[in-house]
Amino acid sequence: MSGTPVNYHSLKSGSDVRGMAIGGRAVITASVVKRIGAAFAEYLAETRKLPIGKVSIAVGRDSRISGPPLLEAACEGITAVGAKAYDCGMCTTPAMYMAILEPGFALVGSIMITASHHPWDINGLKFFTERGGIGYADLDRILAIAKEIDTDKPSLSRQIDVYPFIPLYQARLSSLISSGLEADNKTPLKGFHVVVDAGNGAGGFYADMLASLGAYVEGSQFLEPDGHFPNHPPNPENKEAMASVSDAVVKAGADLGVIFDADCDRAAIVDSTGREINRNRLIALISALLLQKYPGATIVTDSVTSSGLTSFIRERGGVHYRYKRGYRNVIDEAVRLNETGIDCPLAIETSGHAALRDNMFLDDGMYLVTYLIIRAMLLKREGKTLSSLIEDLKEPLESAEYRLKILANDFRKAGESVIQAVMKETTKRVDCRIAPDNPEGIRVSFDLQGERDNGWFLLRLSVHDPVMPLNVESDIQGGSLEMIRILRVILGKLPDIDSSVLENAFEIRGV
């Protein structure tokens, strides 16, 4: 390759590759993706101890405008080293994993070209083997191979077959609904009204699938793929996106609304009143259902879940197990717990990444939503709703997240020093304590205004960026500012952290 050498390791984002794909600052280019595609093929041959000619890889993409040329480049890289490529066209991330398990397909791995909920000009790659998404160390190896591999020589193989996989994935979801409702007819969802918001991503086909099963889908929106995402960000955590689908549900008078991100590995729902069921509410809902099936089970979540959720799970006989942020982290920990004999049917992040053991711990937004639609239909027959299952979920009165910049060059070392300093100072106080489930950073529980454990903050390091996310929740009015006031005094003494965003929090509230 000519020009400035590519820093392949800098493209790493967790267990995925991600970066700018459009314009002069693009780093996810066709030449880069070609090399990464080739490197993944070599990695699979190496780890599976297979001749490269026995390696076959499926490649799909979401609706981003950079997707088609990058998919083509990945396929070219795969064939350049002698492996076989399948072009699955527009697809969902979960479908690209399911393709590996499809009988007769004989895939060794798959690649999804997507940047999930990120803006239209960003793109990336997700990688799968038969064991699921690859881990962090696996990606390090792939990127190391990509740095050294030669893809400029003539292709050793021109085996690129077109293989649309979405129809097979859709059929699997349809079968799941029919069997879940024990239906002996072709329209098991007759009488159920669902609004689907695909955010102009890859998931628009879901509305057609529901309609084919008898559901009424009037009011569904943004089903057509559009790589610029012109209507709202394809993100179940985004306020604009959630407000849009909520309005659509109320306007249509639907029983339920569902919304996906661009590649459909994340989702959220909205009830008939337009109430958003995402983040802690979504975790509570799926936990309530699974604890009926698996009494006493352990639910693995990320670290920023609320105290009210812990109580909700405990009151239903379950165990709430907080772990590090990052969907791969919570999934890997849930798998590990099961291997040690702990009954753990769910790994879920507040972002909407949800992986069920019944679905091979694949973070599949469409599977999650399908599971919930089945339960919603069964409850409707009894005159009940999904929302009735979480009526007693105690939610915080105040909730906010701030991102504090780290000023030192060695941001990880500096961030760890900040955490130690906060830990030292807070342990001196009688009105707070370090939380017992503290898997990353420091989570401090507070006794505010004479009551116990009615507020908390979590300060942690970002995985890759020189920032420290701060999550704050309070069950009383003004509790968040009370905790921030304590924290900013501590941080104000530390030279390597910019806590000015906390000053802004006070200015906004006129304090």
Distance CA 52, CA 45 (A): 5
Q: Are residues 154 and 296 in the same domain?
A: no
Final residue of a structural domain among 390, 416, 444: 390
Final residue of a structural domain among 117, 133, 164: 164
Q: Are residues 36 and 130 in the same domain?
A: yes
Q: How many domains does the chain fold into?
A: 3
- CA dist 41 to 19, 51, 64, 77, 221, Å? 21, 10, 24, 8, 38
Return all residues near 360 (Cβ < 8 A) that are at least 6 apart.
101, 132
Lowest mean pLDDT among 136-145, 442-451, 455-464: 455-464
Name the nearest CA neighbour of 389 among 269, 307, 236: 269
Distance CA 407, CA 226 (A): 39
Q: Are residues 268 and 353 in the same domain?
A: yes
Q: Are 59 and 110 in contact (CB under 8 A)?
A: yes
Examine residue 440 and state whether it is found in any structural domain, yes or no.
yes
Q: Are residues 303 and 288 in the same domain?
A: yes
Examine residue 381 and state whether it is found in any structural domain, yes or no.
yes
Name the nearest CA neighbour of 194 among 267, 271, 278: 271
Examine residue 3 and state whether it is found in any structural domain, yes or no.
no
Query: How far separated are the first and last CA of the chain, in Å rounded?
Result: 56
Alpha helices, H only, 187-238: 205-212
Q: Are residues 195 and 47 in the same domain?
A: no
DSSP 8-state secondary structure symbol assigned to residue 92: -
pLDDT digits (tens, 9 = 90+) for 188-200: 999 999 999 999 9
Examine residue 407 and state whether it is found in any structural domain, yes or no.
yes
Final residue of a structural domain among 130, 164, 198: 164
Examine residue 2 and state whether it is found in any structural domain, yes or no.
no
Q: Are residues 322 and 187 in the same domain?
A: yes
* pLDDT at position 509: 47
Instruction: Record the pTM.
Output: 0.92
Q: Is the pLDDT of residue 157 over 80?
A: no
Distance CA 207, CA 216 (A): 9
Chain centre to alpha carbon of residue 38? 26
Question: For residue 415, what are the domain limits?
Answer: 398-508
Q: Are residues 148 and 279 in the same domain?
A: no
Structure tokens at 290: 């699974």
- The chain-wide mean pLDDT, for the chain, equals 93
Helix, strand, coil percentages, rounded to 5, for the chain = 40, 20, 40
Examine residue 1 and state whether it is found in any structural domain, yes or no.
no
Q: Are residues 380 and 402 in the same domain?
A: no
Examine residue 202 and state whether it is found in any structural domain, yes or no.
yes
pLDDT band at 510 (very low <50, low <70, confident <90, very high): very low
Q: Are residues 313 and 450 in the same domain?
A: no
pLDDT band at 437 (very low <50, low <70, confident <90, very high): confident
* pLDDT at position 159: 76
Q: Are residues 129 and 34 in the same domain?
A: yes
CATH of the domain at 328: 3.40.120.10
pLDDT digits (tens, 9 = 90+) for 318-362: 999 999 998 889 999 999 999 999 999 999 999 999 999 999 999
Examine residue 297 and state whether it is found in any structural domain, yes or no.
yes
pLDDT digits (tens, 9 = 90+) for 217-248: 999 999 999 999 999 999 999 999 999 999 99
Please compute the mean of the pLDDT values over residues 162-186 and round it to a whole number: 93
Q: Are residues 26 and 109 in the same domain?
A: yes
CATH of the domain at 455: 3.30.310.50
Residue type, 348: I
Q: Are residues 188 and 331 in the same domain?
A: yes
Chain centre to alpha carbon of residue 84? 29
